[in-house]
Amino acid sequence: MKLDKPLSLKQMAEFLGCEFEGNEDLIITGINEIHKVERGDIVFVDHPKYYKKALNSAADVILIDKAVEFPEGKGIIISEAPFDDFNRITTHFSPFKEWNDTVGSNFQKGKDTIIHPNAVIGHNVSIGDHCIIHAGVILGDNTRIENHVVVGPNSVIGHDAFYYKKKESGYERMHSCGSVVLKDNVEIGALCTIDRGVTGETIIGEGTKIDNQVHIGHDSVIGKKCLFAANVGIAGCVIVEDEVTMWGQVGITSDVTIGKGAVIHAQSGVAKSLAGGNVYFGSPAAEARTALKELAALRKLPGIVDKL
């Protein structure tokens, strides 16, 4: 998320009431979590396991829980609770805004676009030309829909990210201020849910077709001309490259990449990145030919045991 007005490192530290190290005039132009950071961003980290990743990321300012060495040209803000302070930043610069009508503020609709009854549209939403938004659809804040897009009945585009921090008092939600982008010629089935980015974008690529009851998590990026059958579930921060096919009930864990042209058979579970151009099956998913041979061998096992 970009700031409407850039802040210096000193100004951000003063806003949070924290100490800082680095050039006090270093400019912060955006807020992002680690998977989406760009130059000028501030990012948070609160576990030593991820210090190196955050400090060496594109972010210029790191909100961190103790003073550490950091690369030249960057700055750090030292916080007792980086997660909480990051939430303070996002809620301040992108606060929750109540919906008081079926169409929010700053809504734009293109030529020959049809919106059926009982659709509800949040703030800062744009829909391009020749789209169809079916009955019962909810388009959350900051959703951007390009041209020739179909969204099926009762689908939710742009719900908050499923992102929590576990504390003694329970789970605390990370405030979502990102968006969803549906590119040209995307079709979304009925009862689908696509979560918006925490601070960045969840993207569905041009020409991708999605069946009913599919879930796509926050900050995931789906490529062009993909095909997802019913009940596919994709976690947050997943990259699916172009022309990938996933059949029914495929499940994908977070922070993995599915290579271009991969085909994943029904009810497979993906626990790590998969190379493109191959067919996969099983849980954990493996190349289909190998997985099927293993299943065939297992079926023979009772007969072998009986002969012992």
| Distance, CA of 148 to CA of 161 (rounded, Å) | 26
218 has catalytic annotation: yes
Confidence of residue 299 (pLDDT cuts 50, 70, 90): confident
Q: Is the pLDDT confidence value at 136 over 90? A: yes
Q: Is the pLDDT confidence value at 307 over 90? A: no
* Predicted local distance difference test score (pLDDT) of residue 158: 98
* Predicted local distance difference test score (pLDDT) of residue 253: 98
Confidence of residue 293 (pLDDT cuts 50, 70, 90): confident
Residues 26, 127 share a domain: no
Kindly report, residue by residue over 55-107, the tens digit of the pLDDT.
999 999 999 999 999 999 999 999 999 999 999 999 999 999 999 999 999 99
* Predicted local distance difference test score (pLDDT) of residue 297: 84
- Contact (CB, 8 A) for 3 and 31: yes
- CATH number, position 223: 2.160.10.10
Q: Is the pLDDT confidence value at 289 over 90? A: no
* Predicted local distance difference test score (pLDDT) of residue 308: 72
* Predicted local distance difference test score (pLDDT) of residue 53: 95
Residues 144, 34 share a domain: no
- Contact (CB, 8 A) for 256 and 221: no
Q: Is the pLDDT confidence value at 255 over 90? A: yes
Confidence of residue 294 (pLDDT cuts 50, 70, 90): confident
Q: Which residue did the predictor score with more confidence, 94 or 306?
A: 94
Kindly report, residue by residue over 7-29, the tens digit of the pLDDT.
999 999 999 999 999 999 999 99
pTM of the predicted structure, to 2 decimals: 0.92
Residues 245, 131 share a domain: yes
Q: Among 46, 62, 93, which residue terminates a domain? A: 93
Residues 139, 71 share a domain: no
Residues 144, 215 share a domain: yes
**Smallest Cα–Cα separation from 276: which of 267, 287, 265?**
287
**Cβ within 8 Å of residue 23, ≥6 positions away:** 9, 75
Q: How many domains does the chain have?
A: 2
| Distance, CA of 225 to CA of 89 (rounded, Å) | 37
If you search the block for the tokens 């550490």, which residue do you land on? 68
- CATH number, position 8: 3.40.1390.10
* Predicted local distance difference test score (pLDDT) of residue 304: 77
Percent of the chain with pLDDT over 70: 100
Whole-number mean pLDDT of the chain? 95
Q: Is the pLDDT confidence value at 295 over 90? A: no
Residue 142 lies in a domain: yes
Q: Which residue did the predictor score with more confidence, 307 or 290?
A: 290
| Distance, CA of 258 to CA of 144 (rounded, Å) | 24
Residues 187, 68 share a domain: no
Kindly report, residue by residue over 144-187, the tens digit of the pLDDT.
999 999 999 999 999 999 999 999 999 999 999 999 999 999 99
Q: Which of 35, 134, 215, 218 is the catalytic position?
A: 218
Residues 169, 232 share a domain: yes
- Domain extent, residue 76, equals 2-93
